[in-house]
Amino acid sequence: MHKLKHFGPPIGVAAALVAVWWFAVTETGSVIFPTPRQVVTATLELVEDGTLWNHIGASLFRVGIGFLLAVVIGIPLGLWMGWVHGAFTTLNPLVQILRPISPIAWIPIAILWFGVGDLSPIFLIFLSSVFPTIVQTAAGVQTIDRQYIRAAYNFGVSRTKLFVQVVIPAVLPQIIVGLRVSLGIAWLVVVAAEMIALRSGLGYLIIDSRNAGNRYDLVVAGMVIIGLTGLMLDVMMRKLEGLKVVRWRYAR
C-alpha cells in the first residue's frame, strides 16, 4: 500500500502524458511524429539487433569517465577554495568566467585538441560537470556552522585534523547535492557531446536516426531512454544521502 501511494502519482502522470501524446498524434494524422506504440516497436527493434545496449554502454562509459574526472578534480579544488580565502579570491573569478560557457561552444576546440573519438565527448562532459562540483563544494565549506570550528579549536584540534574530521564531514551533504547536479548536467549534454563521437552512444543514435531516413520513432526512443537512464542515475545518487556520514543533514 505504501509503495502504491509513493509510485502511484508519478505513474499516473506518465500514463496521462502518454495518452495525450497518443491522442495528439492520432488526431493530427501526423505521418512523421511517431505514436507511443511505434516508439516501443522501435525500442524493441534496437533490443533485438543488440545495438541498444551498445549505445547505452558507450554513453555511460563517456559520462562515467568525464564525471569521475570532474569529481577527482572538482571536489579537492572546491574544498581548497572554500577553506583558503586566498585560493577562493584567486580562482573564483576564473571559475565564474568559464562556468557559463556552454559545452557546445567547446566542440570545435575539443575536436582540435582531441580529434574525433571518445576523448572529445569525455572532455565536454568533464567541463559540464566540474564547475558545478567546484562551486557547490566551495559554498558548502564556506557555509559550515562556525560553532563546529570554534568547538574544535577549543579542544586544541590541529588545523589539518580539523579539516579532515570536522570540515569534510560537515560539507559532505553539500558535496552530494553538487554531485547530483553535476551528474544530471553531464547526462544532459551527452547528445551534444556525442555529435562528435564515432559511431556509438545515445546521442549518436538520435542524430543518425534523424539523418538516415527520418526515423523519428528511433529519435524519440533515444530521448525516452536518455530520460529513463537519467532517472536511474539520479536514484542511485540519492542513495548516497542515506549514508550515515551524511544522513544527519537530511530531515527525511
* pLDDT tens-digit readout, 121-171: 899 999 999 999 999 999 888 887 777 677 777 777 777 777 777 788 888
> What type of residue is 67?
F
And the C-alpha cell for 134?
567546484
**Phi and psi (nearest 5°) for 59?**
-65, -45
Q: How many CB atoms lie within 10 A of CB 60?
A: 16
Please tell me the pTM assigned to this model: 0.84
- Quote the CA–CA distance of 229 and 211 in Å, as a whole number: 24
- What pLDDT is attached to residue 198? 66
pLDDT band for position 199 (cuts 50, 70, 90): confident
Percentage of the chain with pLDDT > 70? 92
- Quote the CA–CA distance of 80 and 98 in Å, as a whole number: 18
The 10s digit of each residue's pLDDT in 40-84 is 998 898 888 888 899 899 999 999 999 999 999 999 999 999 888
Nearest to 81 by CA among 127, 137, 144: 137
Domains of the chain are: 49-247 (1.10.3720.10)
